[in-house]
Amino acid sequence: MRRFVDPFVVALLAMLLVGLLVPIPDEMRAALDICSDIAIVVLFFLYGARLATSEIVAGLRNVRMQGTALAVTFVLFPVLGLAAATLARPLLGDPLADGVLYLSLLPSTVQSSVALVGVARGNVAATITSATVSNVLGMVLTPLLVLWLMHARGDVGTGGIRSVLLLLLAPFVVGQLLQPVIGRYVRARKRLTTIWDRSTVLLVVLVAVSTATATGIWSAVSPATLAWVLVISAVMLAIALAVSWWGGRALGLTTEDRIALLMCGSQKSLATGLPMLGALFPAALAGPIAVPVIVFHQLQLIVSSVLARRLARRPA
């Protein structure tokens, strides 16, 4: 049986604790920040290098499922996030409320959605395509949505968008151009790319949280506000799950396609969201903004694992 909490989540929580409790000198944080940028560039180069263009073309034929998943990810979720951030801002404060909004603008996750759809006996091929397309589009749509919906608060501007172009989009395009040459080599070393993927996320978390700690931002975060973040995340996740599942039924999708839609539409990518966060926001703000992303990630794993196991027990 799959565990609710995997070693990566434990490591993620460990980085949070280190960033919160261990004083890191300014010079070391600056060096870690540079290492984080380098790791992000390599990560998105690998994303481009391992993505076979033929996989996207094959999966795009299922227009109803793919279109609905994108609508849930980039239309429904931002509406929910904007409403939640606006209503909860007096309770959460600006950084965590901004984190809720930022969370809602992220693309779908890839690894966990594919794994969960496999457990639930859904359409794995459609899931791979949907999650991949979501992440490719997310490299453009997420920064644009952040610029549009969060620019008025002064948290992000053209400098952040320029960072995304240099740190994320440019290496991804280079990787995609080289994919015909090195793609098979990269895909054959899935474990190595997974290690780099997760190590980059851990490094980004450490830099963001430790910087926030050094600037005193965490003094405004209390257990009560974290509890509210969990409640808000649960409500957003429940609405996304309900719309994905029953919307798929209304569209006449097969059960296998509805499962793919359920997992792709309701999940948000930690692996993409945290590196992008480091490129879009100042390090001092990135720590608190990352908190809702991390909370939602763990919650979606627990809920989706339960749903996947239940769906797997349906008659063949």
Domain count of the chain?
Answer: 1
Indicate left, alpha or beta for 315 from its phi (over 0: left) and psi (-120 to 50: alpha): beta
> Distance between CA atoms of 279 and 298, rounded to whole angstroms?
23
Task: Report yes or no on 81 lying in a domain.
Answer: yes
Q: Which domain holds residue 50?
A: 7-312
The CA radius of gyration of the chain, in Å to the nearest whole number, is 19
Task: Report yes or no on 26 lying in a domain.
Answer: yes
Task: Report yes or no on 214 lying in a domain.
Answer: yes
Task: Report yes or no on 113 lying in a domain.
Answer: yes
Domain CATH code at residue 210: 1.20.1530.20
Q: What is the pLDDT along the chain (316 residues), one digit of tens a residue?
A: 444 456 766 787 788 788 878 888 888 988 988 888 888 788 778 877 877 766 656 666 778 888 999 999 999 999 999 999 999 999 888 889 999 999 999 998 876 787 788 778 888 778 877 877 887 788 788 888 988 888 644 444 444 455 556 766 788 789 888 988 998 898 888 787 778 877 877 787 788 778 767 767 666 678 888 899 999 999 999 999 999 999 999 999 999 999 999 999 999 987 778 778 877 787 667 778 888 988 898 788 778 878 888 898 888 7
Task: Report yes or no on 306 lying in a domain.
Answer: yes
Task: Report yes or no on 2 lying in a domain.
Answer: no
Q: What is the pTM of this model?
A: 0.73
SS3 222: coil
Task: Report yes or no on 1 lying in a domain.
Answer: no
Q: Where are the alpha helices (DSSP H) in the chain?
A: 7-21, 26-50, 53-59, 63-71, 77-92, 94-104, 111-119, 124-150, 158-164, 170-187, 190-214, 223-250, 255-266, 270-280, 283-312
Task: Report yes or no on 298 lying in a domain.
Answer: yes
Nearest Cα to 260, choosing from 307, 313, 223, 192? 307
